[in-house]
Structure 1
Amino acid sequence: MIIVTTHTVPGKEIDQVVGFVRGSVVQSKNIGKDFMAGFKSMVGGEIKDYTEMMDQAREIALSRMVQQAEALGADAIVGLLISTSSIMQGCSEVMTYGTAVKLKG
């Protein structure tokens, strides 16, 4: 599956738009890691456990979006956007979305 943030695929022509696709996941923090992150936030620096958690959440959301696109028979997803939001304290949502298309040739 080709995935691009642009509205075209370089070197390819879009034959058909097959639909809007999305993937999402809500990820919660681990209490033990949350305690250590609170301490780390007082002294500064990257909180690697949270970076890894958000990387994993993005991968899950992307995978779910690709599954939707494949079910529609798409060759590519154009206009990819990724957003995050806080659902409640300790929980974040990662949402990926774009337009599933079929390419010529």
Structure 2
Amino acid sequence: MIIVNTDFVPNQEIKELKGFVRGSTVQSKNVGRDILASLKNIVGGELVDYTKMMDEARQQAIGRMKKHAEEKGADAVINVRLETSSVTNAASEIIAYGTAVTLSKAPEQ
């Protein structure tokens, strides 16, 4: 599955639009991370546990988007975007979305 954030795939022609696809996940904070994050806020620096959690959430959302595209018979997703939103004070949603397409190799020029 090809995933791009552009409206085309280099050296490929879009054969058919399969439609909108998306994948999302909601991640909640945990008390242990919150305590460590509060301490880190005092001295500053990266909140490594949260960075890791959000990276895993992005990968999960992209994986779900890819599965949605595969269910539509697509072999690529173009115009991919990622967004994060707060669901509650203790949870965030990550959503990945784009347009599922099938491709055919572009003719040689």
Q: Secondary structure at the match of 1:41?
A: helix
CA distance in 2, matches of 1:13, 1:44: 48
CA distance in 2, matches of 1:95, 1:35: 27
CA distance in 2, matches of 1:93, 1:42: 26
Q: Secondary structure at the match of 2:46?
A: coil
Residue equivalent to 1:9: 9
CA distance in 1, matches of 2:14, 2:68: 18
In the alignment, does 2:40 pair up with 1:66? no
TM-score (norm: length of structure 2):
0.94
The amino acid of 1:65's aligned partner reads M
Q: Secondary structure at the match of 2:12?
A: coil
CA distance in 2, matches of 1:96, 1:41: 29
Q: CA deviation at 1:43?
A: 1.1
User: CA RMSD of the aligned region, Å?
Assistant: 0.7
Residue equivalent to 1:50: 50
Residue equivalent to 1:29: 29
Q: Secondary structure at the match of 1:104?
A: strand
In the alignment, does 2:104 pair up with 1:104? yes
In the alignment, does 2:18 pair up with 1:18? yes
Q: CA deviation at 1:13?
A: 0.3
The amino acid of 2:8's aligned partner reads T
Question: Number of residues paired by the alignment?
Answer: 105
The amino acid of 2:93's aligned partner reads E
Residue equivalent to 1:94: 94
Identity of aligned residues (%): 53
For residues 22-79 of structure 1, the C-alpha deviation after alignment (integer angstroms, 9 at most, x for no partner) is 0000000111111110110121000000000000000110010000000111010000
For structure 2, the residue ranges without an aligned partner over 5 or more in a row are none
